[in-house]
Amino acid sequence: MIETFNLTKTFKTESVETIALRDVNLKVEKGDFMAIMGPSGCGKTTLLNILGTIDDITSGSYAFFGQDISKLNEKQKTELRKRNIGFVFQNFNLIEELSVYENIELPLVYLGWKKKDRTTRVNEVVNQLNISHRKDLFPGQLSGGQQQRVAVARAIIAKPALLLADEPTGNLDSMHGEEVMMLLNDLNKSGTTIIMVTHSQRDASYSRRVVHLFDGQIINENIVGLS
């Protein structure tokens, strides 16, 4: 599904050149659940942004389902993201002026789904994530854990092949954080491929593989996971 070869990312200013990622070789199979760990500033989020086609590589290669991402223009990358990749962020990134239902529905509006089909799909997802009783509320009326459930619902609404999660429990207490991780675990068991950046060993224990980054390089990988 995903393969990188000697992937390198460099940030340059007039006076400074910073290597954020260096010679990263990574393979992710369909159905994987991978956690990326490492100290702050080691390149975790940069790598996630590249895998999500938000950022470009400096050298090396990145293939998504065999397609060389570097050969795509911005419009093509945007289309690939909309149809194949869902994102979950630490800060939820919900639109305060929209209801829960409208936040979840929004990606389908951008994809041009018909209203009837959007309604059917949103109802499926809110039932799957046990938030149907909150679909008419607004983000400000929800707890952090509930907001993250809505964010996950929005991320999976278009049935993406890949879900990218950046510190998905970072702003949650332990109880709500565990609820979100159990939700991600269930999504993975149902076939969603997940790549997650985390500082939490507990969260990483839900994954099947843990990749450790240090100074922009993969230093080791462990096979882990819950059954």
- Look at residues 166, 208, 160, 165 and name the one whose alpha carbon lies nearest to residue 33: 208
- For the segment 102-110, the average pLDDT, to the nearest whole number, is 96
Q: What is the pLDDT of residue 13?
A: 84
Min mean pLDDT across 132-136, 164-168, 201-205, 222-226 is at 222-226
Quick: pLDDT tens for 145-160: 999 999 999 999 999 9
Q: What is the pLDDT of residue 223?
A: 86
| pTM for the whole structure | 0.93
> Residue 104 to residues 87, 156, 201: CA-CA distances in angstroms?
12, 9, 29
pLDDT band at residue 227 using 50, 70 and 90 as cut-offs:
very low
Quick: pLDDT tens for 51-99: 999 999 999 999 999 999 999 999 999 999 999 999 999 899 999 999 9
Structure tokens of 52? 């999500």
Q: What is the pLDDT of residue 225?
A: 54
Judging by DSSP bridges, how do beta strands 193-197 and 209-214 pair with one another?
Answer: unpaired
